[in-house]
Amino acid sequence: MESNEKKPRYGMVIDLDRCNGCGNCTLACAVENNVPPAHENANERTGITWMRVQKVDNNRPYPENRSVYFPLTCQQCDHHTPCESVCPQKAVEYDTETGIVAQIPVRCLGCRYCMTACPYHARYFNWWDPEWPKGMETALNPDVSTRMRGVVEKCNFCHGRLQAARAKAAVEGRRAIADAEYIPACAESCPTKAIYFGNLADAGSEVSRLAKEKNSFRLLEQLGTEPKVYFRSEQSWVHEQMNAKLKTAEKEKIHG
């Protein structure tokens, strides 16, 4: 994996040309991280979905119409992380050992400053305490704590899996973990292998190689947040449409 001298920076590359919109990543994320079923009164703004899949098209009539499915999650900003900079409780932490932006619910006071600061709308507020269908509470992931009403949550690259990989390495007397030992649930569950995950700081890793290809891009790069989630597509219209779609969603959220 990474050398002992250079700290890892975990990131993703999502191939939009491979994604078929099946939603496996969304389901796997919810199961892995104990995201409860939507409350009966939840809507698009009050529900919780750490990984959300949206359909985007080129707005052209048939037969020129083209579309892709776009999985959106926390972009794991690497520079001047907006959510971290505004949190008064230090409930958001940038882990210098991994590059992962972590959320610490027990510190959160529910002010939602982080939600306002996030340019990717990838944070969710708990309006209700989690409720599980009868019997489901016995099947929750014991490595991930559930969150209560009044706090914000988001994707953390399946931090429970990282901790498990570290524990395994420690037992075996290793300081580093192998690439295959730490894979988030969304990447593992994708049937088309559209989600690549790994160490961006390792020039020899597949995720690092793909991130540097000309067809790869990041959302709202002009903001300078240096997100560690990359997208790639060989379709030129996709590169333009992605940022346009996000800007439109931002306006609808503010004025809708």
Q: What are the pLDDT digits (tens) for 8-64?
A: 999 999 999 999 999 999 999 999 999 999 999 999 889 999 999 999 888 889 998
Would you state the pLDDT for residue 251? Answer: 60
Would you state the pLDDT for residue 221? Answer: 86
Given a cut of 90, whether residue 187 has pLDDT beyond it is: yes
What is the overall mean pLDDT for the chain?
A: 91
Would you state the pLDDT for residue 247? Answer: 61
* Backbone region of residue 202 per phi and psi (left: phi > 0; alpha: psi in -120 to 50; beta: other values): beta
Instruction: Quote the pTM value.
Output: 0.89
Residue 196 corresponds to which tokens in the numbers above?
């690549």
Task: Measure the CA dihedral 223/226/229/232, to 10°.
Answer: 70
- Domains of the chain, start order: 10-255 (3.30.70.20)
Would you state the pLDDT for residue 107? Answer: 96
Residue 113 corresponds to which tokens in the numbers above?
């400053």
For residues 197-222, give the mean pLDDT: 95
For residues 86-107, give the mean pLDDT: 96
Q: What are the pLDDT digits (tens) for 138-175?
A: 999 999 999 999 999 999 999 999 999 999 999 999 98
Given a cut of 50, whether residue 2 has pLDDT beyond it is: no
DSSP letter string over 46-108?
A: TS--SSEEEEEE----TTS--EEEEEE----B-SS-HHHHH-TT--EEE-TTT--EEE-GGG-
